Structure 1
Amino acid sequence: MRKHFLLALAIGAFATSCQKHDANINTEPAPISAETLVKIKNLGFGTDGVRKVNDGYLVEGDIVLTEELLNGNNSAKLLRIAGTEQYRTTNVVSAPRNITVKVSNLGSAFIAGTDTAIARYNRLGLSITFSRITSGTAAITITGFNQGPSGGYITLGSSGFPTSSGAPYSSILMNTNSAAYGSNPNVLYVGSVIQHEIGHCIGFRHTDYYNRAYSCGGSAVNEGASNVGAILIPGTPSTANANSWMLACSNGGNRTFNSYDIIALNYLY
């Protein structure tokens, strides 16, 4: 996730967004090769503002595409030009399974936020469950980075999509900079961001993939058909899905699953 700062004279106001950045992004990103941009486009992701990060390439401002995903055998399945339903990626987590989560070197608000997100998933009775561990190797590790605002945005967190072997994406990064969550982070807000990031880790695209202007403002962008990036989840709405936990931009506070989110989660898991 990220916050979008709107500045007017001496008064600063901000709206939040669900875009995510890696901790090691430079202010002036290195150019991306035309070959890589073609691969990203073929996967059904936008190519504006693509950045190279440690694990691959950051797209849509908040999603890490790994080299495995870019160079894999991504055959077309249930594909369409993005409409207004919910979407998943080709790779999903193999189930049933319990997914362990560990919070490493972060404060109490991030630990409590993780517990909040885990409890929200576990209450749904899915074929995947989550549990937080404090030692050993976890399936998903949540760590921190410190990065201030840049270009009108500040990163809130980052994650990616499941592997081809059915494992969840293994890393969530959360911004510890005071401009991200303040000096006294709200647990429900932090938990909502982590809940969103976990959604990516288990294979969900943004609900407004078809038009991120719906939650973020700006120009309408429909990224089109793909061979991996957006697979329709049946039973989700044919109109804009307000307050979904996977909207590209957040409401700046507490946001959990709405009724259509629960349909999508139960369909997949």
Structure 2
Amino acid sequence: MKLNYLKVSALVLTTLMVLATSCSKDDVDNEAAQEVSSLPRDVLNKVRELDLNPEAFEVKHAVYPDGTKIPVVLTDDIAMEKSRFLKIPSDNNGLAKQYQTEFLIDTDVHEEVNIIVYTGPTIFDGDTPIVTGLSEAAQQGVRDAVENWNSVWGSRLVLRAEFTTATTFDPDFFETFIVVNSSLEGFGGFADFPDENGNPGNFVQISPNSSTFADRVPDAIEHLITHELGHAIGFRHTDWNSRQSCVDLGLEPEPSVEENPPARIFGTLPSIPGIIEQEDSIMNACFNADTTTGELNFFDENGLRSLYRGF
């Protein structure tokens, strides 16, 4: 992947199944699928239960500086904590499908969202690196990203970043942890979404290349982390019904529509392929490092005000 064509990831919670490739159970030979699939049996069974295609899924790990690994189920660039994935109800017709995530942060409980940024040395599992700290340039990208969201007038949401070399952390204090996940490739990352209890997304994971090249493309790393924090506070992709930003950059061959169209956030433009498209939205699925400013556009700001109105 060329450095100036960047594809960002989203860790989708209870709407994961509507974003994946659908596959009728009648079209899948379950016994054959079990033989060829590398998925754990419980994940494979859940994928079948949800009428999804097992070939589109894999299991990887989100990681923490203390060596903790959390299994996540991925399909393309969409991921979900395995334990949550296994709890998805088979009858999902009643779930909300929105630009925003199903759940938002409860700001009465979380007056500030505490973002812990790991800046320490590489942590190994035997001889295999699993997590490392953000570079100084990437740390600046976090500061810029936090400022992007905090500077929106009319929002009651407040983010606060703390930088640490400590490998252990107080689970009652931190809300969102940002690390470099050594297993990720290219320039990108993924992030957790707010949960059903009103907590912000638990983690943001970026790739080693994102951290290494941050000093060369400061606006791009600002864009990437602003985007991933956008997911952690409750945004979905702006171009959900076309992924046109990815097509324009040659990352995807043709437009695609995420099934079961979501309701847009009040105060933002609808996404109408070929008619209304926001090329500069921070929450588009893909972006160009050569042209991004790393800043929110007018409708990104309106979206935040709508979700977390402070007046």
TM over 0.5, yes or no?
yes
2:103 maps to 1:91 = yes
Deviations 1:92-133, CA, capped at 9 Å, x for gaps: 111142101121022211211111011111111421101112
Q: Percent identity?
A: 21
Structure 2 counterpart of 1:223, one-letter code: E
Q: Which residue of 1 aligns with 2:304?
A: 265
Given that 2:242 and 2:255 are in contact with CA atoms closer than 8 Å, whether structure 1 keeps it comes out as yes
TM (norm. structure 1) is 0.74
Q: How many Å separate the matches in 2 of 1:89 and 1:234? A: 14
| Per-residue deviation, 1:62 | 4.1
Secondary structure of the residue that 2:204 maps to in structure 1? strand
Q: How many Å separate the matches in 2 of 1:70 and 1:268? A: 28
| Per-residue deviation, 1:72 | 4.5
Q: How many Å separate the matches in 2 of 1:183 and 1:124? A: 24
Q: Equivalent of 1:67, from 73, 78, 83?
A: 83
What residue ranges of structure 2 are gaps of 5+ in the alignment? 12-36, 62-70, 119-132, 248-252, 271-275
Structure 1 counterpart of 2:196, one-letter code: S
Q: How many Å separate the matches in 2 of 1:199 and 1:223? A: 19
TM (norm. structure 2) is 0.65
Q: How many residues align?
A: 233
Q: How many Å separate the matches in 1 of 2:283 and 2:214? A: 26
| Per-residue deviation, 1:30 | 3.1
Given that 1:147 and 1:155 are in contact with CA atoms closer than 8 Å, whether structure 2 keeps it comes out as no
| Per-residue deviation, 1:49 | 3.6
The one of the two structures with greater contact order (alpha-carbon pairs below 8 A, sep at least 6) is 1
Q: Which residue of 2 aligns with 1:198?
A: 229
Q: Which residue of 2 aligns with 1:102?
A: 116
Q: How many Å separate the matches in 2 of 1:191 and 1:40? A: 37
CA RMSD in angstroms, aligned pairs only: 3.0
What residue ranges of structure 1 are gaps of 5+ in the alignment? 6-12, 22-28, 80-85
- Tell me which stretches of 4 or more aligned residues in structure 1 moved more than 4 Å: 72-75
| Per-residue deviation, 1:241 | 1.9
Q: How do 1:1-269 residues align onto structure 2 when only pairs under 5 Å count? A: 4-5=1-2, 14-19=4-9, 30-31=38-39, 33=44, 35-36=46-47, 39=50, 49-54=56-61, 55-68=71-84, 71-72=87-88, 76=94, 79=97, 87-96=99-108, 97-104=111-118, 105-125=133-153, 126-134=155-163, 137=170, 138-147=174-183, 149=185, 154-177=186-209, 182=213, 184-212=215-243, 214-217=244-247, 218-225=253-260, 230-238=262-270, 239-252=276-289, 253-269=292-308
Structure 2 counterpart of 1:102, one-letter code: I
Deviations 1:112-165, CA, capped at 9 Å, x for gaps: 11110111111114211011124554211111123575xxxx242111211111
Structure 1 counterpart of 2:218, one-letter code: V
The 3 A distance-change label for structure 1 pair 48 and 16 is farther
